[in-house]
């Protein structure tokens, strides 16, 4: 069976990897043929981030606006090229699987009129930014996969064939355990993300500064912000290490260098739709995750057993100070957190959920039998 996957580029949409590409080999082993079409232009998005919104944005403003218009034309052309390819590929496909991106409603209707089975998968509250497109997509879909309980609640309003499929972590690539030995040296507190999510870390500026002022042996690692060092807060005496970029393949090694993982969030509608991916990555690496009690985090973390929940700056400082001082506590909570990922969020577990909700019914309706 041939499945067309419409995705964003991996570099811009990490969910493309953990919710789609990780599953291609498993699908092939069961007789499916994945065909990928990228909806976004990575080169265009990088130039936009550099010239329009980044630290190196073009001056004067009038020239920047001209370049913005040219990049917009480029984006529209890339999207149109992708949609045209999908229409052609759909003639020979059994389903079109759209991940995160939201094509125009007319495009969705065109595929439906051609009898195409549409599957929509989303792991952010995309319906907040594009409400009309999101409603058209979810309503028209044959199956909907939501990455969080918050997103599932939205999907079920318009489509009863919606199910929770969490974001997955290839936990087998991470070290199975950390060395249980007496703590020595500096405890590295880490955060992974992007320039767009770095503002969340600003919530912890004072708690982190306070740890250093108290003379605790702690340092901070910030990974994934590229050249946007201008966005990094002043942490006073706290040593800070910047890792500009990382790939999915490099995450296990990055986690092995961290002792504690941070996931602060604002309590807003967009944040409630997130799938707690940072926490899951920390937990897969055996790092105790300290998180804000927002959205899917409340389903992932059991406070003080599989991770920690911090609500106020005072709680953040208190929990981090406790973890810095207690090596055994870090090991124990980290090990229990990793087990949660193995049992509920591993690639194998999440693929099975996706397979039972989407691909097994697709086989049944088409009359095909699964290849072994």
Three-state SS string across the chain, please?
Answer: CEEEEEECCCCCCCHHHHHCHHHHHHHHHCCCEEEEEECCCHHHHHHHHHHHHCCCCCCCHHHHHHHHHHHHHHHHHHHHHHHHHHHHHHCCCCEEEEECCCCCHHHHHHHHHCCCCEEEEECCCHHHCCHHHHHHHHHHCCEEEECCHHHHHHHHCCCCCEEECCCCECHHHCCCCCCCCCCCCCEEEEEECCCCCHHHHHHHHHHHHHHHHCCCCEEEEEECCCCCHHHCCCCCCCCEEEECCCCHHHHHHHHHCCCEEEECCCCCHHHHCCCCHHHHHHHHCCCCEEECCCCCHHHHCCECCCEEECCCHHHHHHHHHHHHHCHHHHHHHHHHHHHHHHHHHEHHHHHHHHHHHHHHHHHHHHCCCCCC
Is there a single domain that holds both residue 96 and residue 195? no
List of long-range contacts for 114-122, beta carbons under 8 Å, 24+ apart: 114/87, 114/90, 116/90, 117/142, 117/143, 117/362, 118/142, 119/95, 119/143, 119/144, 119/145, 119/358, 120/144, 120/145, 121/19, 121/20, 121/97, 121/145, 121/147, 121/165, 122/146, 122/147, 122/151
* 147 and 33 belong to one structural domain: yes
pLDDT per position as a tens digit, 282-328 = 999 999 999 999 999 999 999 999 999 999 999 999 999 999 999 99
How far apart are the C-alpha atoms of 218 and 185, rounded to whole Å? 9
| Judgement on whether residues 220 and 354 belong to the same structural domain of the protein | no
Structural domain harbouring 61 = 2-168+346-366
160 and 15 part of one domain: yes
Is the same domain home to 194 and 336?
A: yes
Based on the fold, state whether residues 37 and 136 are members of the same structural domain: yes
Residue 42 has a pLDDT of 58
284, 338 Cβ separation under 8 angstroms: yes
| Mean per-residue pLDDT of the chain | 90
Q: Are residues 281 and 355 in the same domain?
A: no
Structurally, the chain folds into a number of domains equal to 2
Q: Give the domain CATH number at 15.
A: 3.40.50
302 and 281 in a common domain: yes
- Is there a single domain that holds both residue 113 and residue 85? yes
Q: Tell me if 292 is assigned to some domain.
A: yes
**195 and 305 share one domain:** yes
Residue 8 has pLDDT above 60, yes or no: yes
pLDDT for 182: 41
Alpha carbon distance 54, 228 (integer Å) = 7
pTM of the model: 0.90
CATH number of the domain that residue 284 is part of: 3.40.50.2000
Whether 371 maps to a domain, the answer reads no
Spatial separation of the C-alpha atoms in residues 236 and 213, rounded to whole Å: 8
Average pLDDT over residues 259-285: 97
The share of the chain scoring above pLDDT 70, in percent, equals 91
- 83-130 residue pLDDT tens: 899 999 998 999 999 999 999 999 999 999 999 999 999 999 999 999
231 shares a domain with 158: no
């Amino acid at each position: 069976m041939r499945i067309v996957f419409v995705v964003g580029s991996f570099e811009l949409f990490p969910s493309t990897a953990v919710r789609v590409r990780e599953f291609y080999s498993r699908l092939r082993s069961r007789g499916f043929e994945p065909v990928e079409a990228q909806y976004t232009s990575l080169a265009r998005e990088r130039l936009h981030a550099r010239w329009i919104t980044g630290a190196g944005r073009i001056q004067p403003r009038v020239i920047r606006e001209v370049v913005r218009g040219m990049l917009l034309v480029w984006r529209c052309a890339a999207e149109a090229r992708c949609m045209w390819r999908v229409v052609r590929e759909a003639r020979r496909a059994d389903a079109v699987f759209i991940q995160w991106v939201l094509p125009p409603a007319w495009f969705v209707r065109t595929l439906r009129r051609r009898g195409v089975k549409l599957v929509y998968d989303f792991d952010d509250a995309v319906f907040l930014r594009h409400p009309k497109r999101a409603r058209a997509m979810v309503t028209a879909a044959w199956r909907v996969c939501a990455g969080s309980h918050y997103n599932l609640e939205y999907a079920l309003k318009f489509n009863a064939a919606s199910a929770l499929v969490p974001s997955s972590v290839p936990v087998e690539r991470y070290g199975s355990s950390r060395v249980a030995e007496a703590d020595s040296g500096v405890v590295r507190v880490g955060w992974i993300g992007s320039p767009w999510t770095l503002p969340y870390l600003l919530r912890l500026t004072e708690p982190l500064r306070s740890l250093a002022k108290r003379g605790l042996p702690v340092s901070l690692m910030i990974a994934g912000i590229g050249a946007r060092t201008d966005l990094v807060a002043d942490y006073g005496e706290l040593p800070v290490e910047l890792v500009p970029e990382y790939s999915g393949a490099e995450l296990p090694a990055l986690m092995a260098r961290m002792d504690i993982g941070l996931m602060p969030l604002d309590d807003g509608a967009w944040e409630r739709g997130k799938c707690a991916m940072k926490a899951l990555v920390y937990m897969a690496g055996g790092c105790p995750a300290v998180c804000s009690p927002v959205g899917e985090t409340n389903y992932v973390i059991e406070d003080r057993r599989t991770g920690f929940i911090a609500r106020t700056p005072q709680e953040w400082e208190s929990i981090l100070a406790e973890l810095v001082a207690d090596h055994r506590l870090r090991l124990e909570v980290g090990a229990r957190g990793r087990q949660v990922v193995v049992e509920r969020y591993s690639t194998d577990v999440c693929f099975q959920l996706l397979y039972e909700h989407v691909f097994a019914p697709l086989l049944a309706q088409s009359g095909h039998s699964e290849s072994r």
